[in-house]
Structure 1
Amino acid sequence: MTRKIILSVLGIALIVGAYFFAKYLIENKNKPKPVVPKVVKTVLVDTVENSTVPIVISANGNLTAKQRVELYSEVQGVFKTGNKLFKAGQKFNQGETLIRLDASEYYASVQSAKSNLYNSIAAIMPDLRLDFTDVYPKWQAYLNGFDLNKSTPQLPEISGEKENYFITGRGIVSAYYNVKNLEQRLAKYRISAPFTGILTEALVTEGTLVRSGQKLGEFINPSVYEMQVAVSKSYADVLKEGEAVTLSNLEKTKTYQGTVSRVNGSIDATTQTITAFVEVKHDDLKEGMYLEANLNAEKVNDAIEIDRNLLLDSQEIYVVKDSLLDVIPVKPAHFSDATVVLKEVPNGTIILRKPVPGAYAGMQVKAATTDSAE
C-alpha cells in the first residue's frame, strides 16, 4: 500500500515538472529577437560639372646632351701634356685645346714642302719679269708676304691663259695644293673644343701613343639636354614642336620646364609609336638622368576626370540617388595610370569621389563632400 502511494506521488510530480518545463520552452520560443541597428555608410561625393579636360600623356626616358661629340684621332702620335688634364669632369671653353699630339716629325715635312713651294716660285720670277711684266708685281708681293711659320697664303689669281700655262707648267699649283693638304693634316694633331662644355669620358692619358681611328673620349655641352619619348601614333597630329612639357624626377620632388624640340616624321612599325624629343635646361640636370614628362596632347570638351578605380568593368560608374547607390553608363575618352576622362555624364549628377568597398546598386549611403563629414 505504501509503495503505491509513493509511485503515485512521483508520477504526479513528474507530470507537473513536465508541464512547467514545456511552458518555459514555449515562452522562450516566442520571445522577440533583438533588433540589430542598420549601418549606413558615409561616402564622399562630387557633383558633376562638365568642362574641357586637357589630356596629358605621361612618358619617361633618360636625358642626353643636345650637343655631344665623340672624340676620335685621325692621325697617330704621342699624347702631349696640355694646360688642363684630359680627365672626365674637366671643363673646356670653346676653342681650347682638348688633345695635342706630338707632330714634330710631321711638322718638319710640312715645312720642307712649304720651302719647296717658295723656291719654285722664286725660280720663275726672272722669267715673269721678262715675259709677264704685267703680272710680275703680284707674284713678287706674294713672295714678300710668304712666311714659313704661318699658314700658306692663297696663290695670286691667274688672270690669263698664257700665265696659267706658265704657272701650271712649272708645277706651282700642284705644289701649292700639296702644301695645303699637309697643313690640313697637321691641324689634326690638335683637337680643340667645338663649344664650351665638359669631358664626360677620357680613354687616353698623357704620354699614350694614340693610333689613327682610336676613340679618345666624349665631350658634351652640359647646359642643354634632350629626352627622347615615345607616344601613341594617335597623337601624331596633335603633338607639335614648341609645346610646353613639364618634367619631374622619380621622387616627384623637383619639376622642370621643357619644350618639344623635334617630332619624328615616321612611326615605328613595330611599336606603332611616334618619337618626340623634349628639350630642357637646368643647372641641376645631368646626362643619363631619368625623368618623367607630361605632354599636353589634346583637349576633350564636355568631359570630367575621375579616379580610374571608380570605373567599373561594365563601363559604368556609381551615382547617388535619394541616398541609394545606382549605376549609369559612361563613355571613357582617355585612360592614364591613375585617372580616366569620361564623357556623357550629365551635369549635376552626384558621383562617388572615392571607391566604396562592397558597393552595390541599391545600397543605402550617406553622402558627404569632405573627409571630416565621414
Structure 2
Amino acid sequence: MLVCKRIFFFWLFSQIWTTPLLAQSTPSVIGHYAAITTWSDPLEALGTLSADESVTLSATVTDTIAEINFEDGEQVERGRLLIRLEDAEEQAQLRAAQALSDERRNALGRATQLQQRNLAPRADVEDSQARLRQSQADAQALEARLSNYRLHAPFSGRVGFRNVSIGTLVTPGMALVTLDKLDVMKLDFTVPDVFLGRLSAGLKLSAKTAAFPDEVFSGEISSIGTRIDPITRSVSVRADMVNPGLRLRPGMLMEVVVQQRIRNTLVLPEAAIEPSGNRHFVMLIDQQDGTPRLERREVVIGERRSGEVEVLDGISAGDLIVIHGLQLARDGQQVRLLGIADEETGIRSLLEADR
C-alpha cells in the first residue's frame, strides 16, 4: 500500500513539472518582415519661427486718423488701404496746384500761338513752359505728400491688433499696425560647425511645437550662414516651412530634426535586436519545411532612431525576423508563429487574438 502511494505521488509530481516544460518547449513568437526603407541620420536642434515677410506700419506725418479699414487679425490683400489720416488741407493745396498748372498750360498755349504768328518773342514761350513745369512739379510733390497720409498693405498678409481709433493724433514713427505674411514661415536655428559638411540647401527637415504636439510640420533648408560663431562654434541655418491653416506664429519655439544622409536601407524594429557585448543578433524564422524554426543570425547595425535600427549586413529584405517572444527563443528551436506584425497589424492585436 505504501509503495502504491509513493508511485502515485511520483506520477503526480512528474505531471505538475513536465506540463509547463512541454508547454514551453514550443514558444509562441511574432514575426516581422525586414524591408528596405528610406532612412536618414537625424540632426536635432531648437529653432525660432519668423514670418516670411513682416512689417510694422507707422506714420510719417503728424495728423489725426480719419479712416480705419481693417479688423483685428484680418487677412488683407496687397495694396489694400488700411489707415487714412486727415488730409483735407493737403487735398485743397493739391487742387490749387492743379488749377495753377491748368492756368499756366493755357498761358503757354496762347504764347505759343502768338509766337507762331510772330506777335510774341520766343522767350515768352520758354518762360511759360518753365512756369508750367514748376507748377506741375509742385502738384506732384503734393501728391507724394498725400501718399504719406494713406497706409496701404505692402504685401498680402494678416494684420495684428488694432490699437488706435479714429481721431487719434499720430506722430512720425508711431506704430499703427503690424502685418505678417504667414503662408510660409522662416525657421532659424543653429547647429555645431562639425555638421557643416553635411548641410546643404534643399535638405528636408521636420519640426514640432508644444502648441500642436500631435502634428509634424515639414520644410527644407533654404540658406546656411556664411560665418561661424567663434564663441559657440555653431552656424546659423534658415529653413522655409509651409504653414497650413496659418496656425504657426512668429516667435514659436520649434524642435527641429534635419534629415541628413538620406538613403534606402534595411530597417528592423529595435525589439528584434539581441545585443551580446559588442555583437548583435536576430532570430530568423525559417519556414522552408512548413514548420517554423529559429536560426540565430549575427547582424551589423548602423544608426538608430526611435523604435527602429538600421541593419547594414547579416540579413536580406524579405527575411522573417522575431520581434516578440525572444526571451524563450533559442537557436534551432521549433516555434509557434502567432502572426506577422506590420503597419496595419500590431503586436497587441495579435496577442489578443491568441487568447
TM class by shorter chain equals 0.5 to 0.7
Asked whether 1:215 is paired with 2:203, we answer no
C-alpha separation between the residues in 1 aligned to 2:307 and 2:155? Answer: 43
Q: What is residue 328 of structure 1 aligned with on the other side?
A: 298
Distance 1:296 1:29, change over 3 A: closer
C-alpha separation between the residues in 2 aligned to 1:264 and 1:353? Answer: 47
1:287: how far off? 3.9
Asked whether 1:261 is paired with 2:225, we answer no
Query: 2:58, 2:173 within 8 Å by CA — same for their partners in 1?
Result: yes
The runs of 5 or more residues in structure 2 that have no matched partner are: 102-120, 287-292, 342-349
Query: 1:42, 1:365 within 8 Å by CA — same for their partners in 2?
Result: no
Asked whether 1:36 is paired with 2:22, we answer no
Asked whether 1:339 is paired with 2:323, we answer no
Query: 2:283, 2:331 within 8 Å by CA — same for their partners in 1?
Result: no
Query: 1:258, 1:279 within 8 Å by CA — same for their partners in 2?
Result: yes
Distance 1:210 1:312, change over 3 A: farther
After TM superposition, the structure 1 stretch with the greater mean CA deviation from structure 2, 70-79 or 355-364, is 355-364
Residue 172 of structure 2 aligns to a residue in which SS?
coil
C-alpha separation between the residues in 1 aligned to 2:43 and 2:223? Answer: 17
Q: What is residue 83 of structure 2 aligned with on the other side?
A: 99
Distance 1:230 1:341, change over 3 A: farther
Query: 1:48, 1:345 within 8 Å by CA — same for their partners in 2?
Result: no
Return the TM-score normalized by structure 2.
Answer: 0.62
Amino acid at match of 1:33: S
> Of 115, 128, 143, which aligns to 2:131?
143
Return the TM-score normalized by structure 1.
Answer: 0.59
Counterparts of residues 242-261 of structure 1 (less than 5 Å) = 242-243=202-203, 250-252=213-215, 258-261=219-222
Counterparts of residues 131-280 of structure 1 (less than 5 Å) = 138-147=126-135, 151-152=138-139, 187-228=147-188, 236-243=196-203, 250-252=213-215, 258-266=219-227, 270=232, 272=234, 274-280=236-242
Query: 2:83, 2:150 within 8 Å by CA — same for their partners in 1?
Result: yes
1:76: how far off? 3.0
More strand by share: 2
Amino acid at match of 2:176: L
Per-residue Cα deviation, 1:99-158 (whole angstroms, up to 9, x for no partner): 2223556x49987xx89xx9xxxxxxxxxxxxxx9987555313124447x7556xxxxx
Q: What is residue 110 of structure 2 aligned with on the other side?
A: none
C-alpha separation between the residues in 1 aligned to 2:61 and 2:334? Answer: 82
Distance 1:92 1:274, change over 3 A: closer
C-alpha separation between the residues in 1 aligned to 2:256 and 2:222? Answer: 14
The runs of 5 or more residues in structure 1 that have no matched partner are: 1-19, 119-132, 154-179
Query: 2:184, 2:240 within 8 Å by CA — same for their partners in 1?
Result: no
RMSD of aligned residue pairs (Cα, Å): 5.0
1:197: how far off? 2.9
Amino acid at match of 2:171: R
Q: What is residue 70 of structure 1 aligned with on the other side?
A: 56
Q: What is residue 269 of structure 2 aligned with on the other side?
A: 307
Distance 1:43 1:292, change over 3 A: farther
C-alpha separation between the residues in 2 aligned to 1:151 and 1:96? Answer: 27
Q: Taking every aligned residue pair, what percent have the same amino acid on both sides?
A: 18
Larger Cα Rg: Structure 1 or Structure 2?
1
Q: What is residue 54 of structure 1 aligned with on the other side?
A: 39
Residue 141 of structure 1 aligns to a residue in which SS?
helix
C-alpha separation between the residues in 2 aligned to 1:270 and 1:361? Answer: 51
**Count of aligned residue pairs for this structure pair:** 306
> Of 294, 297, 303, which aligns to 2:260?
297
Distance 1:346 1:43, change over 3 A: same
C-alpha separation between the residues in 1 aligned to 2:233 and 2:332? Answer: 45
Asked whether 1:88 is paired with 2:103, we answer no
Distance 1:359 1:262, change over 3 A: farther
Distance 1:202 1:339, change over 3 A: farther
C-alpha separation between the residues in 2 aligned to 1:206 and 1:363? Answer: 86
